Amino acid sequence: MGVRRGALIVLEGVDRAGKTTQCKRLVQALRDSGKEAEMMRFPDRTTMIGQLISSYLEKKSNLEDHTVHLLFSANRWEQVPLMKKKLEQGISLVVDRYAFSGVAFTSAKPVNPAEVAGRGGFGDERYETSVFQRAVQQKFEQLIKDPSVNWKVIDAARSIEDVHTEIKTLSENAINIAENQPIGELWK
């Protein structure tokens, strides 16, 4: 019998929801229980495309909206061959944001841009305003209605430990199910 493939586990949500902390905890917990797991994040700011995105997010450069959307997309596509290889090798990938952020953030942009610009932020990067994040949240709520994607909604307003326990249980289930399924494609 061949190697059992890994699962693609994506944590999505608004900025500052605790995704990065939870991704790190999850990878550690999976490894501790003998599973192969690695963390990835998007945007991946280490590549040339990622550096263009990073400069845009830090407001050091301006980019036209369609252009930056395509850069975020290209930044994921450039990692797809590597991601497929790792999944085939039986490594589960715990990913801090993926294509759902691409859809949610870009489509939130037409929502009241003037209002967004006028409000104070809770961080220094582009998009880090509560008005914009509320629009992103609404977009995520629309996206989770898609039955072709196996979404689980996690209440992040609890302790790090409680959130972690729930994510770990769900992820272990997902890994067990994925093992017996071929690698598919999103939104197909």
**In whole angstroms, how close is the CB of 76 to ligand TMP at the nearest point?**
7
Please say which residue, 37 or 105, places its beta carbon nearer to ligand TMP: 105
Rule CB under 6 A: choose which of 6, 13, 43, 50 binds ligand TMP: 43
The vertex-148 CA angle with 146 and 151, nearest 5°, equals 70
What is the size of the binding site for ligand TMP (CB under 6 A)? 10
**In whole angstroms, how close is the CB of 39 to ligand TMP at the nearest point?**
12
Nearest CA to 17 out of 75, 97, 78 is that of 97
Contact call for residue 17 and ligand TMP (CB under 6 A) = no
CB contact set of 184 (below 8 Å; sequence gap of 6+): none
End-to-end CA distance of the chain: 28
Nearest CA to 97 out of 13, 181, 27, 26 is that of 13
How many whole angstroms from its chain centre is CA 98?
A: 4
Please say which residue, 5 or 97, places its beta carbon nearer to ligand TMP: 97
Phi, psi of 95 (to 5 degrees): -115, 125
| Strands (DSSP E) found in the chain | 8-11, 37-41, 92-96
DSSP state, 59? T
Please say which residue, 72 or 140, places its beta carbon nearer to ligand TMP: 72
**In whole angstroms, how close is the CB of 106 to ligand TMP at the nearest point?**
6
Please say which residue, 10 or 178, places its beta carbon nearer to ligand TMP: 10
Contact call for residue 57 and ligand TMP (CB under 6 A) = yes
State which of positions 73-132 bind ligand TMP (CB under 6 A).
97, 101-102, 105, 127
**In whole angstroms, how close is the CB of 7 to ligand TMP at the nearest point?**
19
Interface residues toward ligand TMP, by CB under 6 A:
15, 42-43, 57, 72, 97, 101-102, 105, 127
